[in-house]
Amino acid sequence: MLNPLALLALLSLPLIGSSTGSTDGVYTDGAGEKHPWRVAENHSLVWDGKPFVPVGGLFQVKSWAPGASEADVTDDLAALQRLKASGITDIYLQPLKGGITLIKPTAIQRIVDAAEAEGFTYGLSLADAPRTPLLGYQILPGRYLQDAPGNGGQVRFPIKNLSRALWFVADPGTRQVLDLGTADIVAEGARANVSFKEGRNRLVLYPERLFLAGSELGIPNVWEGFDKYRDDLLMLFSQVKLGKGFRFFSDPLGLTLSLAGEARQIVPSGTAFQTEWALYLSHRYATLDSLEAKWGITERGTVRSFDDAAQLLPLWWAEKGLPQFYHKGKGSLIATQDSASSFWQDLETFKTESLRGYMNQLAIALKRGVAEVPVVYRSRGFSPLFARIEARAGFDGVGIEAYGKGIEPVAYTGAEAYAQLSDAPRRLWLPVLATQESRIPQTTQPGFATKRLLFSMLDALRDTGARGFYVDGARLVEPTRIAYDLSQQPEQLGWLGEYQRQLGVMGIGAAAPPRDKAVFYPRTYKPLQPRPLQDGSWWLPSDREYMLYNFGPAGRAYSLSEPEGPVFYLWNPSGPRQIKLKIPKQANLSNAAPLSWLPRERGVITKDTLTLTIGPEPLRLYNFPSLPLPLEAFPETMARAETLLAGVSKRKFNETSFLGIELQNLKRRYKSEVTTSAYQALTDLQQKVDQMSALLRPYVWIEAEQVAGYTFDMVDDRPGASGARVLVSANRPADAALATAVFPVGINLEGALRLYVAATPGATFRVFLDGQPFGGADAPLPRIMGETFALGTLSWYDCGSVVMPRGIHQIEVRAEGAISLDALLLAPPGIVPSGPLPPPFQP
Residue of 100, 381, 414, 416 lying closest to 249 (CA atoms)? 100
d(CA 715, CA 821): 9
DSSP string computed for 171-185: -TTT--EEEEEE-EE
Which range in 17-26, 189-198, 402-411, 816-825 is most confidently predicted, on average pLDDT? Answer: 816-825
Preceding peptide of 473 cis, ω within 30°: yes
Which amino acid is it at 257? Answer: L
pLDDT of 516 higher than 90 = no
Mean pLDDT, range 731-752, rounded to an integer? 88
Q: Are 703 and 831 in contact (CB under 8 A)?
A: no
136, β-bridge pairs: 209, 268
- Other beta carbons within 10 Å of 559: 20
Of 154-168, 320-334, 377-391, least confident by mean pLDDT is: 377-391
Q: Name residues whose C-beta falls within 8 Å of residue 206's C-beta, 6 or more positions apart in sequence.
A: 137, 138, 139, 141, 144, 165, 166, 167, 168, 313, 315, 326
Q: Are 186 and 179 in contact (CB under 8 A)?
A: no
pLDDT of 19 higher than 60 = no
pLDDT of 43 higher than 60 = yes
**pLDDT, tens only, 547-588:** 999 999 999 999 987 777 779 999 999 899 999 999 998 888
Chain-centroid distance, C-alpha 435: 18
Residue of 638, 628, 736 lying closest to 679 (CA atoms)? 628
Q: Name residues whose C-beta falls within 8 Å of residue 574's C-beta, 6 or more positions apart in sequence.
A: 553
Q: Which is more confident, 3 or 601?
A: 601
d(CA 220, CA 222): 6
DSSP code, position 480: G
> CA angle at residue 349 from 347 to 352, to 5 degrees?
105
Q: Are 573 and 583 in contact (CB under 8 A)?
A: no
- What global pTM score does this model have? 0.89
Of 348-357, 728-737, 800-809, least confident by mean pLDDT is: 728-737
Of 4-8, 61-65, 242-246, 285-289, least confident by mean pLDDT is: 4-8
> CA angle at residue 583 from 577 to 589, to 5 degrees?
150
d(CA 787, CA 737): 31
What pLDDT is attached to residue 4?
A: 37
Preceding peptide of 149 cis, ω within 30°: no
Q: Are 120 and 87 in contact (CB under 8 A)?
A: no
Buried-state track 238-248, b at ≥16 Cβ within 10 A, e below 16: eebebbebbbb
**pLDDT, tens only, 366-418:** 999 999 999 999 999 889 999 888 888 899 999 999 998 878 788 888 888 99
pLDDT tier at 526 (50, 70, 90 boundaries)? confident
DSSP code, position 392: B
- Other beta carbons within 10 Å of 777: 6
What pLDDT is attached to residue 694?
A: 86
DSSP string computed for 705-756: GG-SEE-SSEEEE-TTSGGGEEEEE----TTSPPEEEEEEEEESS-EEEEEE
What pLDDT is attached to residue 537?
A: 81
Helix (H) or strand (E) run with residue 666 in it: helix 656-670
Q: To the nearest whole percent, how much of the chain has pLDDT over 90?
A: 72
For the beta sheet containing 184-186, the strands, ordered from the edge strand earlier in sequence to the opposite edge, are 153-158, 189-194, 184-186
For the beta sheet containing 34-39, the strands, ordered from the edge strand earlier in sequence to the opposite edge, are 24-28, 34-39, 45-47, 50-52
Q: Are 198 and 204 in contact (CB under 8 A)?
A: no
**pLDDT, tens only, 785-798:** 999 998 889 999 99
How far CA 261 is from CA of 85, 541, 716, 728, 770, in Å, comes to: 43, 20, 8, 9, 32
Buried-state track 51-83, b at ≥16 Cβ within 10 A, e below 16: bbbbbbbbbbbbbbbeebeeebbebbbebbebb
pLDDT tier at 749 (50, 70, 90 boundaries)? confident
What pLDDT is attached to residue 673?
A: 66
